[in-house]
Structure 1
């Protein structure tokens, strides 16, 4: 009798779990619906054929992406696999990994391929309002394997890998980000224009090796976007780094920008749409504040080569051309009627041409400057801009 009761209890438990199973299963269609809603603010949309869930894996077939820049056209992505998927608070979804098929496209004599495309830690919001980090489509990591561009059967550009990381700041106040395009190799030996080919050979740029890196942060409440590093670094050429810091780029600013872009795209009168977009941009710019910016070039032998080559085209040596430039720079700067900046530029250029190491142009005002003030100075008194922004030019520092 006791044995019979145990069997009945076990059967009842099995029946209970079998009934609960479908209710707890992932809804692939709902996940894709919310993914599409999260991409829509950027002017994009996602479509697909099927979205089937099996445990914590959602397999999406026939996925396509349409972007605002190409209305009426879509990018065929193919079959995408979301693994480690779980529902999150607020009706959203989190996927540990998202794997994409390799890309291989060709047109006429050119082809492009990318392998091992994947995203890690994808967060799909339940409601894509874009007001907090929780309401934005985000990922923790993204990257690819080898990337190749070929022309007439010859690889003209390759990269070993790309990688991007997003890290949430404490209390979800913002994001820290970094990215890298590593192992770049470019083959310029196939250039057909005789003059350009000669320049490339004389400068020793037949092949290029290097990488591109980026690092920065974004704070939501203040809209402070700091790009600390955006660098192109190539062997035997040099490293060019661009940095900037401004505030006001809030989620609200982003939404206004997206809405203006949508309105312009929907207007069939393109001239009128462009004018409206221009006015909208002027209005939005009123919300931004300039904090700092800089451009720095660290030479790795390209400057001397460039002077020698340019000089040879004019029948002089590289040293003679450098001396001519030293005399020309003060004359050109004098036309701007900014004596202090003229002295800085002249001194920096002279030092750099004598011994090319680094050249830096920076702008860091004592206090943050609203963009309307910069625009007013540009229209009313352009020669005051260097002092307004705290512009400095230095060399070999």
Structure 2
């Protein structure tokens, strides 16, 4: 019996001796990952510190975390990491989540944020970080709820915000999709102002809607495309914007990061050199296409009716006056072709408000250097250079 006990104790002791270096190695790996997390934030001009790192296996909890920039500082309680593993490209983390945030601001304003987290994260090494945009890469991020209060009044609310990203692979760009499933904006704070009667007449005392965004980036050829960025207000319409640019390369990402870091370190100082450097970097990019659009959902009719009421006219009279004013206003841009297209588009839209869009799509991509030079010398020429046109109800 005694021999069995001795053998059991020897076995347990042997196991402890064997496992001790492994446990130590795990802790060291987690510590290194946390330090990498800190460095990546600091490169964005954000200092992140914590009073204690509670490590358990491949998991960790940063306790009493403080985020600070050169101008502000606030606490975010705890940040939790799950399943940290070493990877040839850096450190992989299954999930990172943050405790809910509540901040009291100035002039009776306060902010609350709940359900903050990321999944499938890479804390990239320096040699690959610019393949992922230069910062922490994640495949999904979410915030359940953001609310801004003025006293007891909820001024702004955003719920179910998320971003999903797929990493770039040979022959395929990085893609992303962002969504704010629901937002609300209380405009009652404007009550008593000159704008309030208009807000009230249009019925937008409290606006609701959603925000959708999507795009791609190819680190191999530097093509950056915002395929959609749509801001929808219920019972009003959707304002959309998209663009396609060239030259947003890994090298440009690295250079922009260094300039951003310098700005963040000295925000109140003389940053004219960094500003010039930023302009220089932008000239490495090129313009391919951009579009601004509006899809109506009753806003246009409401505005026309309100203007008609305020002017003591009929709605058709207001439409006729607007149509007549457009050619004179647009002619100031110095392009007869665009004046004709814009006049036709506005007339079509006012007769039957569905959608209207302004598109810039040159036959060949235009270097930003040329755009900047022409914008300073003969800005009217940009209409032709960028091939700007307008259409409606297409």
TM-score by length of 1: 0.90
Match of 2:44?
42
Q: Distance in 2 between matches of 1:294 and 1:200?
A: 28
Counterpart secondary structure, 2:295? strand
Q: Of residues 354, 360, 369 in structure 2, which corresponds to 1:372? A: 369
1:335 matches 2:332? yes
Return the offset for 1:390.
1.6
> Out of 318, 321, 336, which is 2:318 matched to?
321
For structure 1, list consecutive stretches of 5 or more residues without a partner in the other structure.
Answer: none
Structure 2 CA distance for aligned equivalents of residues 224 and 368 of structure 1:
11
Could you say if the C-alpha distance between residues 222 and 43 of structure 1 is closer, same or farther in structure 2, counting changes exceeding 3 Å? farther
- Residues 355-383 of structure 1 deviation map (CA, whole Å, 9 limit, x = unaligned): 11101001111111111121232233333
Contact 2:121 2:137 in 1 (8 A): yes
C-alpha deviation, 1:266, in angstroms: 5.2
Q: CA deviation at 1:209?
A: 1.9
- Quick one: distance in 2 between partners of 1:391 and 1:320? 29
CA drift at 1:82 = 0.6
Contact 1:125 1:134 in 2 (8 A): no
* Contact in 2 for aligned 1:126/1:135 (Cα 8 Å): no
Match runs of 1:1-397 below 5 Å: 10=11, 13-27=14-28, 28-67=30-69, 71-89=70-88, 92-107=90-105, 108-127=107-126, 130-133=129-132, 136-171=135-170, 174-264=173-263, 270=269, 272-273=270-271, 275-397=272-394
SS of residue matched to 1:347 = helix
Q: Is the 8 A contact 2:335 2:384 kept in 1?
A: no
Between 1:6-15 and 1:112-121, the stretch displaced more is 6-15
Q: How far is the alpha carbon of 1:86 from its aligned partner?
A: 1.7
Residues 173 and 221 in structure 1, CA contact (< 8 A), matched pair in contact too: no
After superposition, the C-alpha distances for 1:48-100 in whole angstroms (9 at most, x for unaligned) are: 11112112210111212223xxx15323111111112222225x322211121
| Superposed structure 1 runs of 4+ greater than 4 Å apart | 3-9, 264-269
- Name the Cα RMSD after superposition: 2.6
Shift of 1:146: 2.4
- Alignment coverage as a number of residue pairs: 390
Shift of 1:285: 1.8
The 3 A distance-change label for structure 1 pair 247 and 146 is same
Residue range with higher mean Cα deviation, 152-161 or 140-149: 152-161
2: CA distance, partners of 1:216 / 1:358:
22
Between the aligned partners of 1:354 and 1:134, the Cα distance in structure 2 is 45
Give a deviation string over 1:328-381, Cα, whole Å, max 9, x none: 111122232211111001100111111111010011111111111212322333
- Give 1:159 deviation, angstroms: 2.5
Task: Name the SS for the 2:36 alignment partner.
Answer: helix
Q: What's the TM-score once normalised by structure 2's chain length?
A: 0.90
Identify if the C-alpha distance between structure 1 residues 17 and 350 changes in structure 2 by more than 3 Å, giving closer, same or farther: same
- Tell me by how many angstroms 1:174 deviates: 4.2
- Deviation at 1:260? 2.7
Unaligned residue ranges in structure 2 (runs of 5+):
none
1:123 match: secondary structure: strand
SS in 2 for 1:260: helix
